[in-house]
Amino acid sequence: MGGRNNHRPTETADPAQADGRRGGEAVFSTRGVTKVYTMGAVEVHALRGVDLDLYSGEFVVLLGPSGSGKSTLLNILGGLDVPTAGSVRYMDEDLSGAGDAVLTRYRRDHVGFVFQFYNLIPSLTARENVALVTEIARDPMTPEEALEIAGLPDRMDHFPSQLSGGEQQRVAIARAIAKRPRVLLCDEPTGALDVKTGIVVLEALDRVNREIGATTAVITHNVSIAEMADRVVSIYDGRIAEVRRNDRKVPASELRW
Amino acid sequence: MVRALDRKLLRDLRGSWAQALAISVVLACGVAMYIMSMTTLVSVERSMESYYRDQRFADVFAHLKRAPDSLRERIVSIPGVARAETRVVADVNLLIDTRPEPAVGRLVSLPERGEPALNAPYLRRGRWIEPDRPGEALVSEAFAEAHSLRPGDSVRAVINQRLRELTIVGIALSPEYVYEIRPGEMLPDPLRFGVFWMSRRELGPAYDLDGAFNDVSLGLMPGAAKAEVIARLDELLAPYGGLGAYGRDEQISHQVLESEIDQLRGMSLLIPAIFLAVTAFLFNMVISRMIRSQREQIAALKAFGYSNTEIGGHYAGFVGLIVFAGVLLGAIGGWWLGGAMVDMYVRFFRFPRLDLVFDVGAVAVSALLSLLAAGAGAFWALRRAVRLPPAEAMRPEPPPDFRATVIERLGLQRSLSQPARMVLRNIERQPLRSSLTCLGMSLAVAIMVLGNLNAEIIDRLIKHEFFWTQRQDMTVSFVEPTSGRSLREVERLPGVLYAEPFRAVAVRVRSGQVSRRVALMGLPEQRDLRRLLDEDAREVALPPDGLLISESLAEILGARPGQSVQIEVMEGRRPVRAVPIAGVIADYSGQSVYMNIKALHRLMREQDAISGAFLKVDPDGAEALFSELRRTPGVAGVTIKDAAIDSFEETIAESLLLLRAFTISFATIIAFGVIYNSARISLSERGRELATLRVIGFTRAEISRILLGELALLTLIAIPVGLVIGRELGAFAMEALQTEHQRFPVVIGRQTYAYAVAVTIVAATLSGLIVRRRLDRLDLIAVLKSQA
């Protein structure tokens, strides 16, 4: 994909300036995002002021321990949730104050999701699970293409109960990319898989990122996965602790954990 | 100290309160119907028994022309007879100043001294008559109420062609007239028929029956052979113009009461059974879902050392609490409905008192039946909970297996969207549950059809009898058969447009051992005012010879067209002849036998006698006609068709409305209970799936369509099935409820079907909307974090 430029490492806690992605336009731009949950009498500060830009086509890993706020951030980026304060912009659109209809529209047209537990529809075959999305998207690829890219060309007519975990996750990836999303958001995509299968899935994500150019954000607490990213954003206690650019992207097949 | 497990029970119950309530209410409906029927049944039966006992209701009845008092001794000596009461009974025309049309009074004699040995009137108000004060009478309560008569008021009557003034001294009831209807009529009409009790000393001479009687009733000894007594009595009375003795089973008031009791009994079984079946199904559905979603909890409990019995008992407790609530609610509701029913009965049936008897046994029985139904429903699910090995329970349930549906295997999948496929595959994957859901809704539809059936049948009966068969405006009957010439006199009366004669003869029809007392009706071949119809309301021609008999009578006699039956005439020269059956007609009430009037004249060996005439009347001339008829000697009674129908419909309309309201609310509750529970369970089973779709970008409306589409499809299948079940149940119920004297046409009109469909759709839509609100609150983030 054009404009890809991997040679400037940065080490700073200021993501707004320290990205070095001169050629890419900012797809997401968050400023001062906070999220407070009230659980009974207790207020939980999940995010405490996050400024972050994500650029077109880059592969970002959001790294952090559980409870750090990374999932909350991903949910806000994906339009599943809105921040308590601060602004979230996707291209020219302000997501921070959007209502349900706008967010549904946004998810439908622009976002692909991959979940830790796949969330496939058990009553639909692999092909049909993908078709679920292609039927409502504006400019989708065919389910077959999507499954091809996700690396599962030959088990299209199997139901989820007939597929292994890794295969199910690749169906989920195919389902996420079939609408040609601008952003692909993955929440612990390998969390339920063994190393070998996990790597197959990560390879699929990498290929998808390259081939359709979607801005890909993967959240994980697995430090090894960070090696394959363009940038690694570490989150701790609701704040961005560090943004690091990888000098050399390690191919997924070489990862071990 | 509440155990932790019990606390879990209560919290689970609170967590699914709406579903638990829905089941409780469905159960409560069944229990309420059962208790209502049983309460009413027991109340009516007990009131009837004590009334019959206290007022000494007779066992055998007979009318005759005239017999000397001395015959009484011979009657009493018939083996099995405990008591006999001889009376003078006569029907007279009453003149009531406030009403233009004539009314018929039945005068019944009271003994000169003391109370009657049998059929004693029950004095409601006023006092007993004084035998030496002429003109004093007791009047039946229904008639008194209809005319606002009070003790002290008077009524004029044409007694044996002389106008007499009757002074009402008391208002009374009689076990013979619990259902106060004029013999030979189909509908009670308290405005135009009333019973008067007068002294024998006064009534006897008036009808030339001094020292004689024309009516006798018998009380039998326990274990007496009734048929034998009736045969002996007939023999004794034959020379005195006996019209055929009969038992209580042919006594009209008792007959109606009995068939009402039978209907209550039928109702107490059929409808509650449907509700119990639905309850069992709902329990099955809800408990299995609960156990499936609580696998880990069950495993943990077992790991902690809870025994299978304790865990089984825990879930059984859940069932038990819902059943308890349902039975309690149903018992209260049933008691209340029973009160409403008894109030309704008081309007149709005249009892000295009709006390609501709360049937504790019925509550116990319904509790037991409910527990059985609930147990049957929950059994398999409970067994699964108990059998689950702890280690297996710790693992999540394997993902459900799906396959392509029949429609797709047939190659029709191109037309289906993915959401449509999800709907179809879900239905097909759980065929048993889908069909049970469907059946549950069908039963709701069926109950709705049944609820309307009542009104339709009454409507059809009235149409059949009063508009299609009987087309006269008025019927005039003569005291004695008169010559055919009197028809011309009747025709000349003011207001009469047209008159058609009839000859009615009291006969006993016999075929082998079986016999029935009926009125044999002779009709002219060419007629307009009385048509004889078959089941499809097509006219059946009256043949020159032979009988047309009603279907029910043909069945009782076991005789078919072509065969002959014996006709024993009870009047005149009392001829006995074998007459062939020429055909069968549809007659829903009573048993009728028709014959060509000329053939009947030949049978009776008479010239051209007629018993009365059917009239077509000019509405403007009706009043003049009435006043003329009231003065005409020899006219025994006048029946006005419209008046009878109006008064009947007035009485019955409210009751029908009430019954219909019950059944509709009940059917709505079933429909709602089934659909709501199904939707809730689909929602809990598929919340994750639907949330995923929302995340992917499906709108609320789109995912609602998937969940509710399944229910909508099942509802659409359930509706026609329910209509068929409703019709079959209706036919079954009418078959079960029919008696010798009353049959029911099973006619279900389009509006009943339309109505059932509409109410079901509304109930389905309402429960859909409620579930839809829950869909809107689906927590998108939480479902993604958890494992299936």
User: Greater confidence, B670 or B232?
Assistant: B232
Contact assessment for residue B365 and residue B334, using Cβ atoms and an 8 Å cutoff: no
Q: Which of B422, B697, B784 sits opposite A107 (nearest CB)?
A: B697
Give B690 to chain A, closest Cα distance, Å.
9
User: What is the tens place of the pLDDT at every residue in B654-667?
Assistant: 777 777 787 778 88
- Domain assignment present for residue B416? The answer is no
pLDDT surpassing 50 at residue B114: yes
Q: Average pLDDT, whole number, for chain A?
A: 85
B342 vs B99 pLDDT, higher one:
B342
Tell me the pLDDT band of B579, cut-offs 50, 70 and 90.
very high
Helix/strand/coil (H, E, C) string of B95-135?
A: ECCCCCCCEEEEEEEECCCCCCCCCCCEEEEECCCCCCCCC
Contacts of B699 in chain A (CB under 8 A): 101, 104, 108
Chain A hits for B689, Cβ within 8 Å: 119, 121-122
Instruction: Let me know: does A239 contact A32? Beta carbons within 8 Å.
Output: no
Distance CA B641, CA B660 (A): 27
Q: Which of B429, B695, B785 sits opposite A107 (nearest CB)?
A: B695
Sheet holding A11-12, edge to edge: A11-12, A239-245, A231-236, A59-63, A215-220, A183-187, A111-114
Q: Note the pLDDT tens digit of each residue in A132-172.
A: 888 888 889 999 999 998 888 888 989 888 898 889 989 99
Residue keyed to tokens 């195919």: A174
pLDDT > 70? residue A1? no
Mean of pLDDT over chain B: 85
Q: List residues bridging with B105 in a β-sheet.
A: B92, B194
Using CB atoms, pick whichever of A101, A107, A135 lies closest to residue B418.
A135
Tell me how crowded residue B671 is: count the other CB atoms within 10 A of its CB.
32
Find the chain A residues whose C-beta atoms sit closer than 8 A to any C-beta of B: 71, 75, 78, 80-81, 100-101, 104-105, 107-109, 111, 113, 115-117, 119-125, 128-129, 131-133, 135-137, 159-161, 175, 179, 187
Q: Are the beta carbons of B689 and A161 separated by less than 8 Å?
A: no
Give tens-digit pLDDT for B252-308.
Answer: 899 888 888 887 887 778 778 888 888 888 888 888 888 877 777 777 677 666 777
Angstrom CA distances, A42 to A39, A48, B185, B396, B763, stand at 5, 16, 81, 32, 42
pLDDT of residue B590: 75
Residue B485 lies inside a defined structural domain of this protein: no
Question: Would you say B73 and B236 are in contact if contact means Cβ atoms under 8 Å apart?
Answer: no
Size of interface A-B (CB pairs under 8 A): 91
pLDDT above 70 (res B392): no
Angle, alpha carbons B197-B199-B204 (nearest 5°): 110
Residue B151, domain member (yes or no):
yes
d(CA B775, CA B772): 5
**Residues B116, B66 share a domain:** yes
Q: What's residue B783's pLDDT?
A: 64
Residues of A in contact with B399 (CB under 8 A): 122, 160-161
Q: How confident is the model at residue B14 (pLDDT cuts 50, 70, 90)?
A: confident
More confident residue, B256 or B183: B256
Which chain A residues have a beta carbon less than 8 Å from that of B427? none
Residues present in chain A in total: 257
Cα of B406 to nearest chain A Cα, Å = 14
| CA distances in angstroms from B634 to B42, B158, B476, B484, B622, listed in the order given | 45, 10, 10, 14, 19
* Residue B630 domain flag: no
Taking only the tens place, the pLDDT of each residue in B205-246 is 888 899 999 999 999 999 999 999 999 999 999 999 888 899
How many whole angstroms separate alpha carbon B200 and alpha carbon B214? 12
Same domain, B148 and B136: yes
Of B429, B695, B700, the CB nearest to A113: B695
- Closest CB from A80, A100, A123 relative to B426: A123
Contact assignment for A123 to B699 by CB distance below 8 Å: no
Give how far A127 is from chain B: nearest CA, Å.
10
Residues of chain A positioned with their CB less than 8 A from the CB of B420: none
B538 or A3, higher pLDDT:
B538
Average of per-residue pLDDT across B411-418 = 70
CB-based contact B698 A108, cutoff 8 Å:
yes
Distance from CA of A251 to the nearest CA of B (A): 28
- Determine, yes or no, domain membership for B487: no
The minimal CB distance from B399 to the residues A105, A122, A125 is found for A122
CA B592 vs CA B100, B179, B245: distances in Å:
31, 21, 18
Mutation choice for A interface testing from B695, B777, B778 by most A CBs within 10 A: B695
Question: In the prediction, which pLDDT does A10 show?
Answer: 41
Q: Which residue has the tokens 């004093």?
A: B136
User: Which pLDDT score, from 0 to 100, does residue B226 have?
Assistant: 92
Out of B251, B271, B297, a domain closes at: B251
Q: How far is A76 from chain B (nearest CA, A)?
A: 11
pLDDT score of B265: 82
pLDDT tier for residue B406 given thresholds of 50, 70 and 90: low
Q: Which of A182-196, B450-464, B634-648 has the lowest mean pLDDT?
A: B634-648
Q: Stretch A186-193: mean pLDDT, rounded?
A: 87
Q: Closest chain A residue to B691 measured between Cα atoms?
A: A119
Q: Does B98 lie in the same domain as B44?
A: no
Q: Is the Cβ pair B780, A123 closer than 8 Å?
A: no
Task: Tell me the residue ranges of DSSP E strands in chain A.
Answer: 11-12, 26-39, 42-55, 59-63, 85-90, 93-94, 111-114, 183-187, 215-220, 231-236, 239-245
In terms of CA atoms, which chain A residue is nearest residue B780? A80
What does the pLDDT read at residue B24? Answer: 92
Asked whether A12 and A243 are in contact (CB, 8 A), the reply is: yes
The reply to whether residue B693 touches residue A121, judged by beta carbons under 8 angstroms, is: yes
ipTM of the complex: 0.71
Cβ contact, residue pair B699, A104, below 8 Å? yes
- The span from the CA of B230 to the CA of B130, in Å, is 34
Task: Spell out the domain ranges in chain A.
Answer: 11-254
Q: Confidence band (pLDDT; 50, 70, 90) for B408?
A: low
Q: Which residue has the tokens 């509440």?
A: B2
CA distance A132 to chain B (A): 6
pLDDT at A218: 95
Radius of gyration of chain A (CA): 18
In angstroms, the CA B755 to CA B778 distance is 35
pLDDT 10s digits, B467-520:
888 888 888 888 788 888 888 888 888 889 999 999 999 899 999 888 888 889
Neighbours of A45 (CB within 10 A): 15
Q: Is A52 buried (19+), middle (13-18) or exposed (0-12) by CB count in 10 A?
A: buried
Residue B325: which domain range? 1-60+252-393
* B692/B418 Cα distance (integer angstroms): 14
Q: What is the pLDDT of residue B48?
A: 93
Alpha carbon distance B266, B738 (integer Å):
11
Q: Are B610 and B487 in contact (CB under 8 A)?
A: yes
Q: Are B93 and B635 in contact, with CB atoms under 8 Å apart? A: yes
> In terms of domains, do B225 and B312 share one?
no
Strands A26-39 and A85-90: antiparallel
Left, alpha or beta for B776 (phi > 0: left; psi -120 to 50: alpha)?
Answer: alpha
Residue of B nearest to A117 (CA): B787
Q: Is the predicted pLDDT of residue B694 greater than 60, yes or no? A: yes
Q: Which of A66, A121, A138, A142 to mutate to test the interface with B (most CBs of B within 10 A)?
A: A121
Considering only CB atoms, A124 lies closest to which of B401, B421, B780, namely B421
B405 in any annotated domain: no
* Alpha-carbon gap: A255 to the closest alpha carbon of chain B (Å): 26
**What's the CATH fold of domain A11-254?**
Rossmann fold (3.40.50)
Q: Cα(B581)–Cα(B637) distance, rounded to whole angstroms?
A: 31
Q: A156 to chain B: which residues are within 8 Å by CB?
A: none
Residue B242 vs residues A81, B66, B294, B347, B594: alpha-carbon distances, Å: 96, 8, 79, 34, 22
Identity of residue B128: W
Tokens standing for residue B581: 């059956």
Is residue B206 domain-resident?
A: yes
On whether the CB atoms of residues B382 and B287 are closer than 8 A, the answer is yes
**A105 exposed, middle or buried (CB, 10 Å; 0-12, 13-18, 19+)?**
middle
**Does A6 have pLDDT greater than 60?**
no
pLDDT band at A50 (very low <50, low <70, confident <90, very high): very high
B14-17 contacts at long range (C-beta below 8 A, 24 or more positions apart) = B16/B286, B16/B290, B16/B680
Alpha carbon distances (Å) from B640 to A145, B146, B179, B328, B619: 86, 16, 19, 49, 12
Which pLDDT value is given to residue B397? 60
Q: Give B782 or B92, the one with higher predicted confidence.
A: B92
* Any domain includes B483: no
Q: Which residues of chain B make contact with A118, given a CB cutoff of 8 A? A: none
Chain Cα centroid distance, residue B249: 18
Please, what sign has the CA dihedral across residues B187, B191, B197, B201?
A: negative
Q: A121–B422: do the CB atoms touch at under 8 Å?
A: yes
Chain-chain contact of A124 with B422 (C-beta, under 8 angstroms): yes
Q: What is the total count of domains within chain B?
A: 4
Contact A115 B400 (CB under 8 A): no
**Half-sphere exposure in the Cβ direction for B345 (13 Å, CA):** 29
pLDDT value of position B127: 94
Per-residue pLDDT band for B394 (boundaries 50, 70, 90) equals low
User: Is the per-residue pLDDT at A24 higher than 80?
Assistant: no
* CB spacing of A115 vs B426 below 8 angstroms: no
Q: How confident is the model at residue B788 (pLDDT cuts 50, 70, 90)?
A: very low
Specify whether B592 is located in the same domain as B673. no
CB B465 within 8 A of CB B589: yes
Average the pLDDT over each of B138-147, B565-574, B629-638 and give the range with the smallest value: B629-638
pLDDT band at B778 (very low <50, low <70, confident <90, very high): confident
Residue A216: pLDDT band (50, 70, 90) is: very high
Say if CB B218 and CB B60 are below 8 A apart. Answer: yes
The answer to whether A106 touches A79, Cβ cutoff 8 Å, is yes
Q: How many helices (H) and strands (E) does chain B have?
A: 22, 20
